[in-house]
Amino acid sequence: MKNSVPYPGFILNNTISILAFLNDDGLPGAMGSMTIPLRRIGKLFVATAKVDDETGNFIFDTGSANLVLNKTYFRKYMTVDGAAAGGVTGSTGDIGHVQVKRLKIADMVFDNQMADVTNLGHIENRRGVKILGLFGFGLLKNLEVVIDINNNVMHLYKLDHTGKRIQQSKPAKYDVIQKIEEINNIYIVKARVGDKILNFCLDTGAESNVLNAFSPKKVLKTVSIQRRSGLVGVGSGRSEVLYGTMNNFTLGDQSINGMQTIITSLEKMSEAYGVDIDGMLGFDFFSQGEICINLVNNEMKIRFARKEAP
């Protein structure tokens, strides 16, 4: 069993592969596309899902490699293996591993899947809503995922072995086309900040972009600092962070300026991913427009939202 990469704050161990869109031979099934409504809770996006007999909110979190359950509601399932969690705010406690008989998200059904259990009470307390868990790209392998958080939807398209959509549609024009790298169900994109090329992970569960506090000084100086505050992470961990505006950020040949970001240590995150992480692209990045991620070709495309003239 190999280690996989977590929601910011812990290391998980059991990888999930999608069954809902695949035949027994591993080829795409008859369903060509699907749309999943997303609801906004602050800067988080949730979908309704059912785990066994429990129905509720699941955060769509591409920074989480596995299905993650909130131990408040799945305590009776829980077995702890003694593996300690660690992330941007320090230790988050032990992680439990359970088997879920059935998970249903929209028309996707996953039987006998492994999941990880941890405390998500900090999210519930801050947002005042019941959160059953998190799901990310680990459930969406072999698909093209179009994330349109401005319209509160996620579109899923099944692909052939070359990465082309089975269900043909009118080609969309995108402003940026960029290769991404997959590491244990976490996706990394290279972007330029100032004159440095940095590794950013794509994380819809991050309510702000994040820049590593140990980045070169020339990189950190591109951020206009606004305030200093505490960051609450998974579990009870806290750390001090700086809040500011990211400047001189370039993806492909497109500059994206004015995104909110925090500056904090990503050392533990880098250890968990097994690769140096210079930053995370969260809500402020995904709100730039329509983000299309091809999980076969490992390619990301962006169509920026067009602002109406005053």
Question: Which tokens go with 24?
Answer: 């027994």
Task: Lowest mean pLDDT of 100-114, 131-145, 210-224, name the range.
Answer: 100-114
Q: Is the pLDDT higher at 16 or at 309?
A: 309
Average pLDDT over residues 217-229: 91
Residue 205 is assigned to a structural domain of this protein: yes
203 and 296 both lie in a single domain: yes
What's the pLDDT band for 155 if we cut at 50, 70, 90? very high
Q: Among the three residues 128, 158, 188, which one is the final residue of a domain in this structure? A: 158
Alpha carbon distance 178, 251 (integer Å): 8
Alpha carbon distance 116, 274 (integer Å): 20
Residue 5 is assigned to a structural domain of this protein: no
Residue 287 is assigned to a structural domain of this protein: yes
For residue 256, give the CATH number of its domain: 2.40.70.10
In the DSSP assignment, the letter for residue 284 is: H
pLDDT at 200: 97
**Cβ-proximal residues to 169 (8 Å cutoff; 6+ apart), any chain:** none
- Is the pTM here over 0.85, yes or no? no
Mean pLDDT, the chain, whole residue set: 81
What's the pLDDT band for 81 if we cut at 50, 70, 90? low
> How many domains does the chain contain in total?
2
Residue 124 is assigned to a structural domain of this protein: yes
219 backbone dihedrals φ, ψ, rounded to 5°: -70, -50
Q: Is the pLDDT higher at 310 or at 41?
A: 41
**Cβ-proximal residues to 243 (8 Å cutoff; 6+ apart), any chain:** 208, 225, 226, 227, 228, 229, 260, 261, 262
How far from 60 is each of 37, 41, 116, 205, 207, CA to CA, in Å?
A: 11, 11, 15, 7, 12
271 pLDDT higher than 80: yes
Which helix (H) or strand (E) segment is 216 a member of?
none
**Cβ-proximal residues to 180 (8 Å cutoff; 6+ apart), any chain:** 187, 188, 189, 202, 293, 298, 299, 300
**Cβ-proximal residues to 181 (8 Å cutoff; 6+ apart), any chain:** 187, 188, 189, 298
193 and 287 both lie in a single domain: yes
Domain that holds residue 181: 176-304
185 pLDDT higher than 60: yes
Percent of the chain with pLDDT over 90: 51
Cβ atoms of 135 and 62 within 8 Å: the answer is no
Reference 244, options 267, 220, 276, 216; nearest CA is 220
Residue 13 is assigned to a structural domain of this protein: no
101 pLDDT higher than 60: yes
131 pLDDT higher than 80: yes
Cα 213 to chain centroid, rounded: 21
pLDDT at 109: 86
Q: Among the three residues 129, 158, 187, which one is the final residue of a domain in this structure? A: 158
180 and 300 both lie in a single domain: yes
